[in-house]
Structure 1
Amino acid sequence: MMQFNDFQIPGVIRFGEGALATIKDEVLSKNPSKLFIISDKGVEKAGLVDELKEVLETCEIPMETMTDIAGEPTFSLVEETIKTLNQSKADFVIGIGGGSALDVAKASAALQDKHDLENYFSGKKTIENRTVPCVLLPTTSGTGAEVTKNAIFGDEVEGVKRGIVSPALLPDAAIVDPELTLSCPSRVTAASGVDAFTHAIESYISTNATEQTRIYSEKSMKLFAEHITNAVHNGSSIEARTGMSWASLLGGVSLANAGVGAVHAMAYPLGGTYHIEHGVANALLMPFVFKVIGKTCTDDMVRVASFVEIGDFTSSKHQALEAVVHYLLQLLKDLNLPTSLKELGVEKADLPKLAEQASQVKRLLSNTPYRLHEDQILGIYEDAYEGGKGGSNGS
């Protein structure tokens, strides 16, 4: 039986300082009658929406702006955005911001004028094609949303987070300008940065990883280790911001084609129930998840240890996993991120329910090279609840 691997990326990926100014070329090439800009209040307050509009004014095309995107967007917010987009009669969508704004933007562009939205949201129907052109500009370095074919939203009824997956969510162009990340606060820089590393390491060990995807995930991990500390603690460094922009972009490409796994599956219920930021949830869970699943990919852990420069374990492979887990735990402290679920206000009594919800995210769990069962997932949550002090190791 022959097996094939597709590799999908946006039509254009443009990277570099000052790349924002080139968006007018992408707009004019489509000859739209009206532009619709989607962002959030933080990005707007930082002046980046006005900066974008100033560039676009030279196109002499009417534009409308929506900056009501919440940190953890829901399907109802997407539905509301699509309604506003339809009423505006805009025929070109631009998303500028972090992963939330970009997910809403690309989903809205793909679903504009489509009916039965609930069937698309539930996964009963797949988006076959995008309705209008879409360009995405990230202002954080982490989600990789500008190059992925998935978008994650909260289901307010079920209290969980779910993903929409379709190549139609890939934008016409992803414009990555590291200068747009200079105003990103240190906590967001830390959380989104570790999110990028989560994408890289999970896609690297994914059961769907290929030689091609691993080129991207390997380079992403190396760049992350080199630049994350400086980006968080010296945010004005354009060198660090550029390095993290590359780490995010490359990790996103690998994620889009190889998929992520158990860390993300377990982060979704935390976002759905407690509205914990996605990057924070991933960062906190990662060491406790890898403590368990890393047992099945020893050689990969040896290579990861090399990528992040914590030692050469080729002659002592059994020690590599412990070193990687220690590195991930130390990251939380170095970047001033939470180190336990208890610290985030998670109730211990809710852990079984969270484990049950995570066990249903089979699309991601099947990407993990370790068959995690619900009781093992619960053990990982318990370990993370205590910050590794007295919890189960999930094995």
Structure 2
Amino acid sequence: MTIAQNIIQDFRMPTVFRVGVGAFTTLVKEIEELGAKKVAIVSDKGLEKVGVVQKVLDHIKPLSIPTITYTEISGEPTFQLLKEAVLTIDAEKCDVIIGIGGGSALDVAKATAALCGKDDITSYLNGEKVVKSRAVKCILLPTTSGTGSEVTMNAIFGDEEQQVKRGIVSPVFLPDVAIIDPELTISCPARVTAASGVDAFTHAIESYIAIKATPLTKVYSEKAMKLFPSNITRAVHNGNDLDARTGMSWVSSLAGVALANAGVGAVHALAYPLGGKYHIEHGVANALLMPFVFEVIGKTCTEEMMEVASFLQLGDFKSQPSEALKAVVDYMYQLLEDLDLPTSLSELGIEEDSLPMLAEQAAKIDRLLSNTPYKLNEQKILGIYQSAFKGRVGN
């Protein structure tokens, strides 16, 4: 590993980062310590329907603090929904926001906390300005193991006008408190567990090879990858396996910290246009594209591919370093099969004649492509989409 000597980087995490079975029960203490006078709970319609939102309300009821709920989220959120959330919660003068759910709910919660009290939020949403301060406190509790949103500085939203997904980034998106309780993920459906779990693995491997990776971020990426193989299949096919759920909670959180500090790359860049135009779930898009992307970009990081193969217990390739990439990519393809995830873009209803447009959009996401140790131009990106459209041919 070559350590870049001309890069100075900070390392950021939430103020409180708590992981463990039963951690949810500490929520009341954290609300008290933040001095909350009025609380907003941000979640989604699905979790409201199954009683998770009510569970939070019941748990904090003894505090006798005025509380409102915002649960208008269904599917992946848009910038318009974010604006509505900010207007609603800002008008209520809440001083603590609790986000509970998957990445969509957590992104809305932390972005809303950061944007409340701002006069004009449009300039923040279009990327002209970065949010530099936050007056509203924020607590995040994930119910899936994948996005790592509870420990990252990113929030992803759909731009309905341009039919793309865009990220907004700020250090103040990090919550005051992240509470990761594996018990909250038990009810997560198998498809979501699979997609979000592979999303976490994508964060781990992309941050590991990232241009901005450091020895410290690689510690988190490495541990996430080592924990992944022994837990993902069990968590997907036996959702009540609390040990596997705990393992995946760690995978998600560790990979999320690595993502927050080293960033991700080309897999995410190619996934965003699929979410914007076709509304493909972020985790599904990442999972499907990952092997096709790494077949190309992995050629420039042979040493890292040897290390990743070791982390995944795929073998020792010191005597055949060029074979490590094939082993890793084969593992990624097999994951799709084992977890019942789509194996080609055509399965997802993507039209072949839309691939050039998708490539054009992906090629513009320089923030991610420039963090990838392989220069991908629009033509090479189109080639990856074409391969992913057909699916794997042969072995």
TM-score by length of 2: 0.97
Query: What is the identity, as a one-letter code, of the residue corresponding to 1:110?
Result: A
Select 2:44's aligned residue among 40, 45, 63: 40
* Aligned partner letter, 1:380: I
Matched, 1:314 2:321: no
For residues 318 and 137 of structure 2, the distance between their equivalents in structure 1, rounded to whole angstroms, comes to 48
On the 8 A contact 1:196/1:248 being kept in 2, the answer is: yes
Q: Which amino acid aligns with 1:84?
A: T
Distance in 1 between residues matched to 2:63 and 2:23, nearest whole Å: 16
Confirm or deny that 1:254 pairs with 2:258: yes
* Aligned residue number for residue 283 of structure 1: 287
What percentage of residue pairs aligned between the two structures are identical?
62
Counterpart for residue 169 of structure 1:
173
The DSSP-based 3-state class of the residue aligned with 1:120 is helix
Q: Distance in 2 between matches of 1:47 and 1:71?
A: 18
Match among 383, 390, 393 for residue 379 of structure 1: 383
Q: Call closer, same or farther: CA 1:3–1:285 in 2, change over 3 Å.
A: closer
- Once the two structures are TM-superposed, the CA of residue 43 in structure 1 deviates from its matched residue by 1.6
**306-315 or 359-368, larger mean C-alpha shift:** 306-315
- 1:116 to partner: Cα distance: 2.2
For residues 80-101 of structure 1, give each alpha carbon's deviation from its aligned partner in whole angstroms, at most 9, with x where no partner exists: 0001101222111000000000
Separation in 2 of the partners of 1:96 and 1:53?
12
Letter aligned with residue 177 of structure 1: D
User: Does structure 1 residue 343 correspond to structure 2 residue 347?
Assistant: yes
Distance across 1 between alignment mates of 2:29 and 2:266: 40
Q: Using the TM superposition, give the Cα deviation of residue 3 of structure 1 relative to its aligned residue in structure 2, in angstroms.
A: 3.6
Superposition RMSD on alpha carbons, in Å? Answer: 1.0
Secondary structure of residue in 2 paired with 1:6: coil
Counterpart CA distance in 2 for 1:226 and 1:305 is: 14
Where 2:73 maps in the other structure, the secondary structure is coil
Inter-CA distance 303–366: structure 2 relative to 1 (3 Å threshold): same
Does the residue aligned with 1:215 lie in a helix, a strand or coil?
Answer: helix
* Partner Cα distance (2:227, 2:161) in 1: 39
Q: Contact conserved, 1:288 with 1:383, CA < 8 A, in 2?
A: yes
User: What amino acid is aligned across from residue 6 of structure 1 in structure 2?
Assistant: D
Q: Hey, what's the Cα distance between the residues in 2 that align with 1:309 and 1:52?
A: 40
Q: Give SS of 2:140's match.
A: strand
- How far is 1:52 from its partner? 1.2
2:72 aligned counterpart, secondary structure: coil
Provide the TM-score with structure 1 as the length reference. 0.97
Deviation at 1:389, TM superposition (A): 2.9
Are residues 1:147 and 2:160 paired?
no
Q: Is structure 2 residue 137 aligned with structure 1 residue 133?
A: yes
Partners of 2:358 and 2:38 in 1: CA distance: 44
Amino acid at match of 1:362: D
- How far the C-alpha of 1:33 sits from its partner, in A, is 1.6
Is 1:157–2:179 an aligned residue pair?
no
Contact 2:292–2:384 (Cα < 8 Å) also in 1: yes
2:274 is aligned, of 265, 270, 274, to 270
CA distance in 2, matches of 1:85, 1:142: 27
Deviation at 1:50, TM superposition (A): 1.4
1:90 equivalenced with 2:94 (yes/no)? yes
CA contact (8 A) 1:46 1:183 kept: no
For 1:321 and 1:44, how far apart are their aligned partners in 2? 43
Listed one character per residue, the Cα deviations across residues 242-276 of structure 1 (whole Å, up to 9, x for unaligned) are 00000000000000000000000000000000000
Instruction: Report runs of 4+ in structure 1 exceeding 6 Å deviation.
Output: none
Distance in 2, matches of 1:44 and 1:312, equals 48
1:61 corresponds in structure 2 to 65
Shift of residue 4, structure 1, vs aligned partner: 1.8
Q: Tell me, what secondary structure is at the counterpart of 2:373?
A: coil
Q: Which residue of 1 aligns with 2:371?
A: 367
Aligned-partner Cα distance in 2 for 1:382–1:223: 32
Counterparts of 1:333 and 1:369, CA distance in 2: 28
SS of equivalent to 1:68:
strand
Separation of aligned partners in 1, 2:75 and 2:299: 34
User: Is 1:25–2:33 an aligned residue pair?
Assistant: no
2:46–2:74 Cα contact (<8 Å) kept: no
Structure 1 counterpart of 2:84: 80
**What is the deviation of 1:47?**
2.1
Q: Which stretch shifts more, 31-40 or 367-376?
A: 31-40
CA shift digits 1:184-226 (9 cap, x unpaired) = 0000000000000000000000000000000000000111111
2:328 pairs with one of 324, 335, 348: 324
* Cα drift, residue 228 of structure 1: 0.1
1:2, distance to aligned residue in structure 2 (A): 5.5
* Equivalent residues of 1:20, 1:52 under 8 A apart: no
Q: Which amino acid aligns with 1:63?
A: T
Output the amino acid matched with 1:70.
Answer: S
Which residues of structure 1 form unaligned runs of 5+?
Answer: 391-395
CA offsets 1:96-115 (integer angstroms, 9 cap, x no match): 00000000000000000212
CA contact (8 A) 1:135 1:174 kept: yes
Displacement, 1:46? Answer: 2.8
- Unmatched segments (≥5 aa) in structure 2: none
Q: Report what 2:126 is aligned to.
A: 122
Distance (Å, rounded) in 2 between the aligned partners of 1:295 and 1:75: 37
Aligned length: 390
